[in-house]
Amino acid sequence: MKRIRIPTLTVAEALGYCVESIRDANLVARLTAQSMSLNAAEEDYRLKGSNSQLYLIQETDSVGAQVTLEEMKSIYSNTFARKGSPARHMYDELRASAPGGICPLCGQRVVSTLDHHLAKSKHAVFSITPINLVPACKDCNTDSQARRPLHAGEQTLHPYFDSVDEEQWLVCQILAGAPPVVQFLAVPSAAWSDDKQSIVRRHFQVFKLGELYSTHAAVELINVYQDLVESSELQSPQEISLHLLSIAARRRRPLVNSWQAAMYQALADSEWFCTGGYLEISNSSLLQGLE
């Protein structure tokens, strides 16, 4: 997961733009009357988020017992996220904040929506709070429904607050076969706190990153195979291993925990693969009909 900048947009700004689209005067009055509650909740979120304590925030089915959960969900859908509404530019700005348009939750797919880190179905007060809205791909937004942490270790990583790329925690295993199978595991640093280790593993599980990366790795193996069988310079197992290590190093420079870096490292370390196991890639269904 790649950390991204905390939004400068505030819930006060979101509220101001949203009320411009609401025709129900009574709802506008009730919502505006809760501005201080929304602001206070945002500050509490910011404080707890910076300390990995968002699990301590209680679920709410209304805002100050004045604006219902269903009303807040409607405000998000029909005023904040609706194309053409005064607040839509905030939605677009948040969605565009992911570098390269890549989902920060999986680091692989394209951003297409915003994910409520604390689900709006359980936290009415954060329905339109920018700091709770994370750019995400559709799949990660759907998978996030599994998140209802009861303690610190059950949380998932928050792209605005958590940084876990200072050390390698994504590792890969190569399973000998015809074709080889690439598996990914979350193995956090033992030097990290127990909670941080649990959060990384939980994130890896909730967003099904092992399955996602293994699927892409199967495709990348085809490129590896073509490079090795067509090269006249890579003949010995040592030459092959060094070649794969150099690729792993390059892939790791922009992102320590990229699945590509982990895969190439594992391939380089696999004696079976470098001594001829790579030839078994020819049995991949992805190669059938290409040769």
- Residue of 228, 227, 263 whose CA lies nearest to 248: 263
Q: What is the DSSP letter of 188?
A: -
* Per-residue pLDDT at 170 exceeds 90: yes
Higher pLDDT: 150 or 185? It is 185
Note the pLDDT tens digit of each residue in 235-277. Answer: 899 999 999 999 999 999 999 999 999 999 999 999 999 999 9
Mean pLDDT of the chain: 93
pLDDT at 234: 82
Question: Is residue 291 scored above 60 in pLDDT?
Answer: no
Q: Of the candidates 250, 244, 276, which has an alpha carbon nearest to the alpha carbon of residue 180?
A: 276
How far apart CA 204 and CA 210 sit, in angstroms, is 7
What pTM was computed for the model? 0.91
* pLDDT of 70 above 90: yes
pLDDT tens digits along 12-44: 999 999 999 999 999 999 999 999 999 999 999
Spell out the long-range contacts of 178-182 with Cβ–Cβ below 8 A and sequence spacing 24 or more.
Answer: 178/280, 178/283, 179/218, 179/221, 179/280, 179/281, 179/282, 179/283, 179/284, 180/221, 180/273, 180/277, 180/278, 180/280, 180/281, 181/214, 182/213, 182/214, 182/217, 182/218, 182/221, 182/263, 182/266
Residue-wise pLDDT tens digits, 122-157: 999 999 999 999 999 999 998 565 567 889 999 999
Whole-number pLDDT of residue 142 = 80
